[in-house]
């Protein structure tokens, strides 16, 4: 077994793959052990299925994998692009409704502005968060 830092509890443990009866899927766990009062205590942290969450991926349009194999940079980029896509779809829908006479030109303009402002605000908040994270990493590097 491979010794790893558990992404769930941040303690060292052994990466273990297990199958479940009645299913062909394999699941990943980190097995932890310690001695308490002369007894060996063992517990597991569930990381998710080996590979990816196929159902969640199709529903969310995000590439989700288990907690050990996840590529968080890809997930963050996909989430940001989904924000942009959602806003652009809202803009297109407002334009379509205006063309069909279901919205006035002014109402369509308001809906489009609101969609773009919502996405822009979310992206700006995400940018500030990423900048704070980058600063924490730089500080950790300088301290260590």
Order of strands across the sheet that contains 39-49: 2-5, 12-19, 26-36, 39-49
**Which residues are CB-neighbours of 14 under 8 A, at least 6 positions away?**
1, 2, 3, 4, 30, 31
pLDDT of amino acid 8: 84
What is the reported pTM? 0.53
How do the pLDDT tens digits run along the chain, 144 residues long?
678 888 888 888 898 988 877 777 888 889 999 888 889 999 999 888 887 655 444 444 555 555 656 667 877 888 888 899 999 999 999 999 999 999 999 999 999 999 999 999 999 999 999 999 999 999 999 996
Task: Please give the pLDDT value at position 56.
Answer: 44
Domain boundaries of the chain, sorted by first residue: 2-52, 71-143
- Among all chains, which residue has been given the structure tokens 């063992």? 42
Which pLDDT belongs to residue 139?
A: 93
pLDDT of residue 101: 94
> Residue 76 has which token pair?
């963050």
Radius of gyration of the chain (CA): 23
């Amino acid at each position: 077994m491979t010794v790893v830092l558990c992404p769930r509890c941040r303690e060292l443990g052994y990466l273990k793959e297990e199958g479940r009866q009645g299913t062909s899927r394999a699941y990943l766990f980190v097995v932890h052990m310690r001695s308490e009062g002369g007894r060996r205590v063992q517990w597991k942290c569930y990381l998710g299925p080996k590979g990816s969450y196929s159902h969640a991926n199709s529903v969310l349009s995000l590439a989700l994998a288990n907690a050990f194999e996840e590529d968080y940079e890809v997930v963050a980029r996909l989430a940001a692009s989904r924000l942009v896509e959602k806003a652009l779809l809202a803009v297109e829908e407002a334009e379509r409704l205006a063309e069909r006479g279901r919205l006035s030109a002014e109402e369509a303009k308001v809906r489009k502005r609101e969609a773009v402002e919502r996405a822009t605000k979310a992206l700006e908040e995400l940018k500030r968060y990423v900048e704070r994270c980058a600063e924490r990493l730089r500080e950790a590097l300088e301290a260590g």
